[in-house]
Structure 1
Amino acid sequence: MSVTYATTEELAAMQEQLTSNLSVVWILLNSINIMLMQTGFAMLEAGAVHRKHIKSILSKNLMDCAIGTLAWWGFGYSIFTMSNEFATNKTESFAGFFLMFAFAVTCGTIASGAVVGRLRFPTYMILAFFIIGCLYPLIAGWVWSEKGFLYGRYTDVAGGVVVHGVGGVCAFVAAALIGPRNDRFDGLGTGDVVVVPSPGNSPPLQVLGALLLFCAWFSFNGVSAGLGDAEGLNAASRAMVTTLLASSAAACVGLILVRSITGYYDLGVTFNCLLAGLVSVTGNCSLIDTWAAVLIGAISAPVFIWSDRFILYKLHVDDPISASALHGVVGIYGGLCTGVFHRTEGVIHGHGDLLLVQLWGTLLIVVVSGVSVFVVLQVLRLFSPKRKLTVSAEAQLLGMDFYYHDRDIIENLTAARIREFNVRKQAMARALALSEKTSSSHSDGTASQAASSLSADVVVGDMDFEAKKPVFSLLHKKSGV
C-alpha cells in the first residue's frame, strides 16, 4: 500500500484554511457573548428606573435589537464597509456582519436608559434606528474600515470611543435636549435647585445586569484584539487580563472613595465604577501593560463619580442610568489614555504623536455624534404632537407602562393624586435640605421636625398607595400622548 505525503505548499494551505476556520468560530462564539450584553443592559436599566417604567425600558432594549438588525442589514453594514457587497449578496462575510452588528446595537442601546420616563416611544425607535444604521457605522467605518480616513491613524481596539463614547454622547445630548422628568428637580430655573432622589426599584436586577455586562465584556474586548491564530489569541489574552485588572481597580477605588466622602458604602456607585473600569480600557486593552491597566482603571472611578455629579448637580441633566458619564466621559478618557500609556508609542515612552491623533480624532467623533443627534431630534420635534419630544406631564406621573403598554393602573389612582403625592415628596426634599443647612446654627431642630413630619406623611400616603394595588382602573383621558 502506497502512502501519499502532502507537499509543503499543501500543508501551508491546509494550515491557512484551519486558521481561517478557527477565526470564524472565534468570531461567532464571541459575537454571541457580546449579544448577551443586551440582557445586561436590560436588567441594569430595569432595576434602575421606577417600576412604572419597567415594561417601557425593556421594550426599548428589545426593539433596539429588532429595529437595529433591519437597519444594519439594510444599509448600516454597507456604510461601515463603504461598499454595497453585503446588500447585493456579493460577499459571504457573515461572521464580520454579525460581530459588527453586536457592536452597533451596543452603541445604540446605551441611550435608552438616559431618556427613560419621558421620551415618546416612537421617537426613541427612530433615534435608535438612526444611531445603529447611520451614525455608528459612519464613525466605525472611519476608524476600522480599510477605506476610512482614520484607519491606521486613530487607535481604538474595541470601541472605547467608537462604541461607548458615541453612545454616551448621544445619551447626553438626548437627555439634555428633551429635558428632565417632571419630578426630578425642584426649583429648576431658580438659583436654588434641589435634586429629588430617584432610587431604582431593584438592586438585585441592577447587580445582575452589571455582572452580565462584566462577563460579556471579555468577549467584547478579546475578539477585537485578535483572531484565531496564535498571535491573535495572545493579544486577546492580554486584552482580557487588562480588562479584568482595570475593572477590579475601578471598583475598589470607587468603593473606598464613596465611603470616605459620604461615610457609607454605595452599591450603585460601586458597580458603575466597575463598568467605568471596563469602558476605560476598551480602546487600549491589548496595547497597554498590566500596571497601566490598573492605573487607568483606578483613575476611571473618580472620573466617573465627579463627571456624573457635575452632569446632575451643575448641568441639571437628568440621566437615570448615568450613561453620559459612564460611557461618554469615561470612554473619552480611555481614548486619550491610549495616547499616554501605549506600550510603544505612548507619551510614557517619549512619543507624543499618537496622543495628538487621539485628541483631534476623539474631538471629531464627539462633535459629529453630538451634532447629528441634536439635528435628528430637532427634526423629530417638528413632527411631534405640540412640538414636544416628551410625553405629557400626566403620562410621566402615571408611568410609561400605563400609556404605551397594558394600562395596568391602581384603582382610584388619578393624575391628581399622584401629582399631590409628588408635591409632598418635593416638600420633604426641601425640608431635608433646609435641615442640613440650618442644623449647625439652630439647636431647636424645627427644620428637622418639619422634615420628619413630612416624611411620615409621605410614608402614610405611600402605604395607602400600595393598599389599592389589586384592582385596576383606566383613566378616560389620554392627553398629549
Structure 2
Amino acid sequence: MIFSRIIGKGAARPLLAAAALAGVFTMLPEQAHAEDFLTQGNANILWTLIAGILVMFMQAGFACVEAGFTRAKSAGNIIMKNFLDFGVGQITFFLFGFALMFGIDAGGGFIGGSGFALSNLGLDYDTLAGFDYTFWFFQSVFAATAATIVSGGIAERTKFSSYILISIVVTGLIYPISGHWAWGSLNGAESAGWLESMGFMDFAGSTVVHSCGGWLALAGAMVLGPRLGKYGPDGQANAIPGHNIPLGALGVFILWFGWFGFNAGSTTTADNTIGLIAMNTSLAAGAGVIGAMATSWIRYGKPDMSMTMNGALAGLVGITAGCYTVSPFGSIVIGLIAGLLVVLSIEFIDKVLKVDDPVGAVSVHGTCGAWGTIATGLFTVPGLNGGAGGLLYGGGIGQTITQIVGVAAVFVWAFGLGFIAFSIIKAIFGLRVSEQEEMAGLDIVEHGSESYAGFQIFRTE
C-alpha cells in the first residue's frame, strides 16, 4: 500500500514498480554494500537497545519477587532498594564500573581497566558512535541486576543508608572486576581478561552476573545474621512466609519476559541466533518449573508455590551461560537439574548452614548460576555458534575444567571481597537495624510510611 502511494496510480503502477526494482538491482556493488552495512548497524543498535530496555524492566520483576516473598511491613523498603540499585548503580557504573570492566588492562587481564574515565576506554564523547552509547546502556542494566540480587538475600533487617554503600561497591568495583575477567574483550581484543583468555564461556552471565550477585548475597546474609524469630533456641529453622505470593508470581513472569532481552540481547547483533537463544531460554525456564515443582512435591507432599516460582528463575539462571551454544534438548536438561538444585540448595542453606536468605537469592543465582556455567562445559554442541564441544559431546574435559576455574574464581572474589566490604560497613556505619525497628518493620522506621496504609497488620513475633 505504501509502495503504491509512492510510485503512482492506475495502469502506470506496474511500469513504475518494475523501474524501481530495476534501479535496485542495478545498484553499484559499493552502494549496495554501504546500504547493507548501514541497515545492519542500525538493526544492531535497535535490537541491543530493545534488549537493554527489557533487562531494565527486570528490575520491576525483582522488586515484585522480593517484596512478595517477604513481609508486608518491609515491602516498601524492598522497593526502595530496587530503585536505589538502578539509580545509584547506573551512575556509579558510569563513573567507575564501566571503565574497570571494559578498559585496557594494566595488569595482564587480571586486575581490571587501567583508569576511571571514559577516555581510558578509547571512548571520547567527541567520537562516540551510536552503538557505543547503546553498548554502555546494555551493560549498565546488567550491573544493576547484579546489585539487585543482593538486596533479596539481606532483606528485612538492613539499614537503608548502609545499603547505599553496598550498592556503590557492587556496581563500581566488585561486579566490574570479575566481569572484566570474563567479558573484557567485548570492548576490543586488547581488553580481554584472564578467564576469557583461558577460553571461559559465559555467554550472558550465569556466573558473571548471577553467581556474582548470589555470592555477595551469601556474604551479606552471613555478616548480618538471621531475622528475629528465624531460628529457635534449638537451632530449628522457622518458616517466615512471604506476604503476597501472587505479587511474587507476577515478578517471576516479568523476569521470564525480560530474560529474553538478557540472553538473546547479549548477541548485541540482530542475527539468526536470537531465535535459538530465546527458545533455549524459555525451555530451560519451563523445565526449571517442572524440576522444582516435582522435587517439592516429593519432599513436602504438595507442590510448593514459592519453590516452583524459584524453579522458573533457577532454570533461567542456569541456561544464561550456555544459551548460545547448547541445543534445545540440552537446555531442558540444564533447566530440569537447576529446578532440582534450587530446592535442595534452599534447604541446605537454611537448615544446615543456618543462613537466612528470605527469597532464596543465594540458591537461585549463586548455586544455579554455578551449575549453568559448569553445564556449558558439558552440553556445548560442537560447532554450534563456534562452540568447541562439551564433555558429553566428545569434546574432552578441558572446557569443563575451565568452567569450574571460572566459577571458583568469581566465588572467591565476590564472596571474599563482599564479606570484607560488609564487615567494614558494619564496623564503621552499622549494618543492621535494632530489634525494635526490625519488629516494627523497615517501611515505618526507615522511610516513614507504610506500603499498605489503612490495612491492619497483625504481627505474630
Q: CA deviation at 1:226?
A: 5.3
CA–CA distance in 1 between the matches of 2:166 and 2:41? 37
Question: How is 1:112-191 mapped onto 2 (pairs within 5 angstroms)?
Answer: 112-146=151-185, 147=191, 148-152=193-197, 153-187=199-233
- Report Cα offsets for 1:401-459 as digits up to 9, x if no partner: 1111125599xxxxxx97xx52xxxxxxxxxxxxxxxxxxxxxxxxxxxxxxxxxxxxx
Q: CA deviation at 1:236?
A: 1.4
Give the match's secondary structure for 1:390. Answer: coil
Listed as ranges, the gaps of 5+ residues in structure 1 are: 411-416, 423-481
Whether the 8 Å CA contact 2:215–2:366 is kept in 1: the answer is: yes
CA–CA distance in 1 between the matches of 2:312 and 2:212? 20
1:269 matches 2:269: no
CA–CA distance in 2 between the matches of 1:199 and 1:280? 26
Residue type matched to 1:14 in 2? E
CA–CA distance in 2 between the matches of 1:342 and 1:3? 46
1:57 matches 2:78: yes
CA–CA distance in 2 between the matches of 1:377 and 1:262? 35
1:209 matches 2:251: yes
Q: CA deviation at 1:260?
A: 2.1
CA–CA distance in 2 between the matches of 1:210 and 1:409? 21
Whether the 8 Å CA contact 2:178–2:410 is kept in 1: the answer is: yes
1:362 matches 2:407: yes
1:7 matches 2:52: no
Give the match's secondary structure for 2:343. Answer: helix
Question: How is 1:78-477 mapped onto 2 (pairs within 5 angstroms)?
Answer: 78-82=99-103, 84-85=118-119, 88-89=124-125, 90-92=127-129, 93-146=132-185, 147=191, 148-152=193-197, 153-187=199-233, 192-225=234-267, 227-228=269-270, 233-344=271-382, 345-350=389-394, 351-384=396-429, 388-407=430-449, 421-422=460-461
Change in Cα spacing, 1:307 to 1:401, as seen in structure 2 (3 Å) is same
Whether the 8 Å CA contact 1:226–1:236 is kept in 2: the answer is: no
Q: CA deviation at 1:140?
A: 1.4
Whether the 8 Å CA contact 1:165–1:328 is kept in 2: the answer is: yes
Q: CA deviation at 1:375?
A: 1.4
Whether the 8 Å CA contact 2:295–2:343 is kept in 1: the answer is: no
Give the match's secondary structure for 1:195. Answer: coil
Residue type matched to 1:116 in 2? A
- Report Cα offsets for 1:111-138 as digits up to 9, x if no partner: 1111111111111111111111211111
Q: CA deviation at 1:88?
A: 4.9
CA–CA distance in 1 between the matches of 2:299 and 2:23? 76
Q: CA deviation at 1:72?
A: 1.2
Moved over 6 A (4+): 1-4
Q: CA deviation at 1:274?
A: 0.9
Residue type matched to 1:109 in 2? T
Segment of structure 1 superposing worse, 88-97 or 286-295: 88-97
CA–CA distance in 2 between the matches of 1:151 and 1:15? 31
TM-score (norm 1): 0.80
CA–CA distance in 2 between the matches of 1:266 and 1:200? 13
Q: CA deviation at 1:7?
A: 2.2
Whether the 8 Å CA contact 1:251–1:273 is kept in 2: the answer is: yes
CA–CA distance in 1 between the matches of 2:59 and 2:141? 9
Give the match's secondary structure for 2:310. Answer: helix
Q: CA deviation at 1:56?
A: 0.7
Residue type matched to 2:289 in 1? A
Residue type matched to 2:161 in 1? P
Residue type matched to 2:180 in 1? G
Whether the 8 Å CA contact 2:48–2:268 is kept in 1: the answer is: no
Residue type matched to 1:49 in 2? T
Listed as ranges, the gaps of 5+ residues in structure 2 are: 1-18, 105-117, 186-190, 383-388, 453-457
CA–CA distance in 1 between the matches of 2:324 and 2:376? 10
Q: CA deviation at 1:261?
A: 2.1
Residue type matched to 1:58 in 2? I
Structure having greater relative contact order (Cα 8 Å, sep ≥ 6)? 2
CA–CA distance in 1 between the matches of 2:278 and 2:253? 15
Whether the 8 Å CA contact 1:225–1:239 is kept in 2: the answer is: no
CA–CA distance in 2 between the matches of 1:355 and 1:68? 33
Segment of structure 1 superposing worse, 345-354 or 17-26: 345-354
Change in Cα spacing, 1:226 to 1:262, as seen in structure 2 (3 Å) is same
- The answer for the alignment partner of 2:113 in structure 1 is none
CA–CA distance in 1 between the matches of 2:179 and 2:278? 22
Aligned residues with identical type, % of pairs: 28
- Report Cα offsets for 1:178-231 as digits up to 9, x if no partner: 1111221111xxxx3122220011111010000000111111111114511xxx
CA RMSD of aligned residues (A): 2.1
CA–CA distance in 2 between the matches of 1:292 and 1:369? 29
Whether the 8 Å CA contact 2:73–2:451 is kept in 1: the answer is: no
Q: CA deviation at 1:99?
A: 0.3
CA–CA distance in 2 between the matches of 1:150 and 1:7? 45
CA–CA distance in 2 between the matches of 1:409 and 1:369? 33
Residue type matched to 1:363 in 2? A
Q: CA deviation at 1:372?
A: 1.1
Whether the 8 Å CA contact 2:90–2:141 is kept in 1: the answer is: no
Whether the 8 Å CA contact 1:107–1:167 is kept in 2: the answer is: yes
- The answer for the alignment partner of 1:458 in structure 2 is none
Whether the 8 Å CA contact 2:292–2:342 is kept in 1: the answer is: no
CA–CA distance in 2 between the matches of 1:408 and 1:272? 27
Whether the 8 Å CA contact 1:224–1:236 is kept in 2: the answer is: no
